[in-house]
Amino acid sequence: MLSDLDQIERTALQALESIQDEASLESWRVAHLGRSAPLMLVFDQLGKLSKEERPVIGRRANAVKNALEAAFSDRSESLRQSALQRSLQSERLDVTLPGRALPIGHLHPATISVRTIVRAFADMGFQVYRSPEAETDDYNFGLLNMPPHHPARDMYDTFYTSMPNVSLRPHTSPGQIHVMRQYAPEPIRATLPGVCYRYEQINARHETQFNQIEVLAVGKNITLGDLKGTLSDLARRLFGQEIHIRFRASYFPFTEPSAEYDFECLICNGKGCAVCAWTGWLEIGGCGMVHPIVLQNGGYDPEKFSGFAAGLGTERIMMLKHRIEDIRYFWANDMRFLEQF
């Protein structure tokens, strides 16, 4: 019987060596350690043995059982390890691959333009002053030398609100009165950026909302030369040293004298092209010396103080810089447009 046990052990261990997968390992367990395995039959027969034989055979049978169980768990562990290795190899994660980039937003092109221009003025000592987008009739027009029934009011297609006497600002000029009243009689150098609203027929050149930047300087001995120098410097800061600027006489109720100013066409360098309608110049905005009545309304004595003001449309600057043909792109929320900046 001892030799039977040796044989059982040998056969089982040999069979175990050739096993390569979990399923055959399980069959092996059933065959060699299961209820009807040869080893178990030996245990069943122990009761029939003599008193002398029983402990000897019993010990040996237990030793074989332990050996087979240990061999089984070794094999099971090594199969598990090799399965793990295989899956590590085949499902290998390449951590050096670039990740999926999260979409990161950026500033709106209109905001970029406002900030670029505000920064250029800031370098010349102009501070930013914020004023309201809804104003009383006085601030929008009256205090800017446009009393009721003044024909110049027709130039502004104003949005009136359901509140009597309150309208959306059609230009940033009402901010002039706010900043002057806050700082008079101190000298002022300020930019007043912000959105303006007009009841426009929307087309490639006109929108019902647009950003404007108002520039205001008030002090003693400020002249038209300062205005021209400041705007020329702005043009150079935005578009380079070579650019020229010109003034054309114009009319605004809140400045005297008044002018429109043009930058030399950036696209043809003044030679004439379709964008500048073959003139070589691009209209940028209006400007002039602050009207004495406006200075007075702001709290300054026009005998002692003078000042200049200028306005410019920031989308317009962006359109010139990037040759954007239609202002409606700015507010259409089309990512194909916005992502380009």
Binding site for Zn ion (CB under 5 A): 265, 267-268, 273, 276
For the packed helices 38-45 and 22-33, what is the interaxial angle rounded to 10 degrees? 20
Smallest distance from Zn ion to CB 329, Å: 21
Instruction: Please report the DSSP string for 106-150 in residue order.
Output: ---HHHHHHHHHHHHHHHTTPEE----SEEEHHHHTGGGT--TT-
**Closest to 12 (Cα-Cα) out of 35, 38, 32, 37:** 32
Smallest distance from Zn ion to CB 279, Å: 8
Smallest distance from Zn ion to CB 277, Å: 8
Residue pair 49/42 in contact (Cβ under 8 Å)? The answer is no
Smallest distance from Zn ion to CB 255, Å: 28
Q: Indicate the residue whose CB is closest to Zn ion.
A: 265
Report residue 297 CA to chain centroid gap. Answer: 42
Which of residues 168 and 265 has its CB atom nearest to Zn ion in the complex?
A: 265
Backbone angles phi, psi at 224, to 5 degrees: -60, -30
CA angle 93, 94, 95 (to 5 degrees): 105
Which of residues 270 and 292 has its CB atom nearest to Zn ion in the complex?
A: 270
**Closest to 135 (Cα-Cα) out of 197, 76, 81:** 197
3-class DSSP state of 35: coil
Which of residues 270 and 299 has its CB atom nearest to Zn ion in the complex?
A: 270
Residue pair 270/239 in contact (Cβ under 8 Å)? The answer is no
8-state DSSP, 162 = S
Smallest distance from Zn ion to CB 115, Å: 26
Smallest distance from Zn ion to CB 117, Å: 21
Which of residues 49 and 273 has its CB atom nearest to Zn ion in the complex?
A: 273
Which of residues 204 and 277 has its CB atom nearest to Zn ion in the complex?
A: 277
Which of residues 290 and 324 has its CB atom nearest to Zn ion in the complex?
A: 324
